[in-house]
Amino acid sequence: MPAAPAALRLRAVAVAVRDHRVLVVLRHRDGNAYAVLPGGGVEAGETPQQACVRELREETGLDGVAEALLPVGLDRDAPALYFRVSVGDATPAMPADAPEARRATATNRYDPTWVPLDDLDRIGLRPERARRAVELAVS
């Protein structure tokens, strides 16, 4: 009998925009360079907003407030909720005890940073819904 398909895990994603810049995590993985918005899986017992703020802190070291759910729509294969978040003025830096920091290697890096909105194409922001979420956050 074939194995049952794995259950999809809902993700919560932070969209922080300030001074015409967006907060991203630049990824360098096995020779590929791209960018993602901070976010990750919603854990048992937490709301998507709580997961969004937790993931933001884990991946960037920044504290934030989830202000609004952005109407991006759900991808059936990779469901994610995107929240516009406000963050303080601190410089992003992944905490040393973050799960991503423990997985980092010379060929698998995570670099949180602010990038100009005009650079989203250049940095290869993934997935396409993330780009739509950023557009909604600034409108």
Q: pLDDT of the chain along its 139 residues, tens only?
A: 555 556 788 999 999 999 999 999 999 988 899 999 999 999 999 999 999 999 999 999 999 999 999 999 888 888 999 999 999 888 999 888 888 888 888 888 899 999 999 999 999 999 999 999 999 999 8
DSSP letters spanning 78-101: S-EEEEEEEE-SPPP---TTSHHH
Q: Which two tokens stand for residue 124?
A: 């290869």
Residue 89: per-residue pLDDT: 85
Q: Which residue has the tokens 């703020």?
A: 53
pTM over 0.85: yes
Give, in order, the Cα–Cα distances in Å from 16 to each of 7, 44, 51, 69, 94.
Answer: 29, 25, 15, 12, 16
Helix (H, G, I), strand (E, B) or coil at 74: coil
